[in-house]
């Protein structure tokens, strides 16, 4: 069977041959066969060598999203097989069915994210090709899991780049919650209401790691969301935990989760983090441990410079609140701010404040967010633990 094809310009095939999943529009020399948005195309080198097959969109910078070396029709059977492969990995990694089940390109389903909360499933689609094949995805989930509910959380701004509307809806079942036990700390999750796809599984192992700094500590948790770090630290011996987030919905969920765990050492503030820190600094408040897990400060290369300045200023304020020999647990989920750059920013902020850092630990996302070594874009989360002198 002959497929529509995309032929690359000379010297543009190396990255794709090595396993990267994105073909950019400026790398294409010729398109043959009149493919439409979401169609499957064969990608060829400038010398007509087949590099595999991908989903086509002529209207975006990412013109082709590769999904297979050998042709496969992306029908229901295809999605069942790919989701089963992803499930097999998660079943080996986790004892309970709470995880990111499908992580886009890293699970060879580009533009598709599925989070699982036992019998509840949250779907986020960021490509026109996956949107076109939503019926196959839903059929695969029903066949594999007989889910209690499926939620569509298509509120990502990246959908606009694909010409897709932002939507949130219940595709199956009704709105309900699930209780996730994170090694002794329980979170009541509402996948239909929570931020993004409902919960941040990517920080799971980092939250558990943070417990070793809890005993007797006065903790400040910035950008606390629904209390991932705050509750883990409070549960494992912190003297007090002050959690701060600007979202009323998130802080309400944090309070509910705190009560669910019977924690009396957690207080919650709904406030702008930077304004809050300025107020604490002016009153002379200090903390033994500060957790900082902000949203992404940049979604493209153009705004990296501004993001670097924002990260530096944020950490300068943090260093003003940390006691001598305090602990900083800090994160960045901005892919375009690479790990080395992020750590340089944090160290520069420390030097400007007369502080000296010891890097104790560095990590990334939990393994339900696998990384393709040939595709740096699949690795976004940086988590570092510092002793601050």
> Active-site positions?
333
CA–CA gap between residue 159 and residue 104 (Å, rounded): 14
Residue 108 to residue 67: CA distance in whole angstroms: 5
Beta carbons within 8 Å of 271's beta carbon, 6+ residues apart: 244, 245, 246
Q: Which residues are CB-contacts of 47 (< 8 A; sequence separation ≥ 6)? A: none
Two tokens at 212? 């070793």
Which residue in the block uniquely carries the two structure tokens 């690479």?
Answer: 338
Helices (H), the chain: 14-17, 76-93, 128-132, 134-145, 158-161, 204-210, 228-235, 248-260, 273-282, 304-319, 339-352
The residue among 349, 352, 374 whose CA lies nearest residue 384 is: 349
The number of angstroms, rounded, from the C-alpha of 355 to the middle of its chain's C-alpha atoms is 31
Q: Sign of the C-alpha dihedral, residues 361, 317, 326, 241? A: negative
| Composition of the chain by helix, strand, coil, percent to 5 | 35, 30, 35
């Amino acid at each position: 069977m002959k497929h529509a094809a995309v032929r690359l310009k000379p010297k543009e095939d190396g990255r794709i041959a090595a396993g990267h999943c994105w073909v950019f529009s400026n790398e294409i020399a010729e398109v043959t066969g009149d493919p439409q948005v979401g169609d499957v195309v064969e990608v060829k080198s400038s010398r007509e060598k087949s590099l595999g097959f991908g989903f086509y969109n002529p209207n975006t910078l990412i013109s082709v999203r590769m999904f297979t070396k050998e042709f496969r029709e992306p029908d229901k059977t295809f999605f069942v097989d790919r989701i089963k492969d992803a499930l097999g990995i998660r079943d080996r990694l986790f004892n309970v069915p709470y995880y990111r089940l499908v992580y886009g390109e890293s699970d060879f389903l580009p533009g598709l994210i599925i989070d699982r909360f036992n019998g509840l499933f949250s779907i986020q689609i960021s490509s026109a090709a996956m949107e076109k094949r939503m019926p196959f995805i839903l059929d695969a989930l029903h066949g594999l899991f007989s889910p209690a509910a499926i939620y569509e959380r298509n509120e990502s701004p990246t959908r606009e780049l694909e010409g897709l509307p932002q939507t949130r809806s219940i595709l199956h079942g009704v709105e309900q919650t699930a209780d996730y036990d994170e090694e002794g700390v329980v979170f009541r999750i509402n996948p239909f209401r929570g931020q993004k796809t409902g919960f941040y599984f990517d920080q799971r192992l980092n939250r558990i790691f943070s417990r070793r700094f809890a005993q007797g500590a006065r903790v400040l948790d910035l950008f606390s969301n629904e209390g991932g770090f705050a509750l883990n630290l409070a549960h494992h011996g912190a003297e007090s935990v002050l959690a701060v987030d600007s979202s009323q919905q998130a802080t309400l969920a944090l309070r509910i989760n705190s009560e669910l765990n019977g924690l009396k050492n957690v207080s919650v503030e709904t406030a702008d983090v930077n304004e809050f820190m300025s107020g604490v600094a002016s009153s002379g408040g200090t903390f033994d441990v500060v957790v900082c897990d902000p949203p992404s400060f940049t979604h493209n290369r153009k705004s990296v410079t501004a993001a670097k300045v924002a990260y530096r200023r944020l950490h300068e304020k943090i260093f003003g609140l940390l006691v001598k020999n305090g602990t900083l647990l800090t994160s960045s989920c901005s892919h375009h701010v690479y790990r080395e750059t992020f750590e340089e920013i944090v160290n520069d902020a420390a030097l400007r404040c007369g502080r000296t850092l010891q890097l104790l630990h560095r990590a990334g996302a939990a393994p339900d967010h696998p990384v393709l070594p040939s595709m740096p874009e699949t690795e976004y989360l940086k988590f570092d633990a510092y002793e601050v002198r």
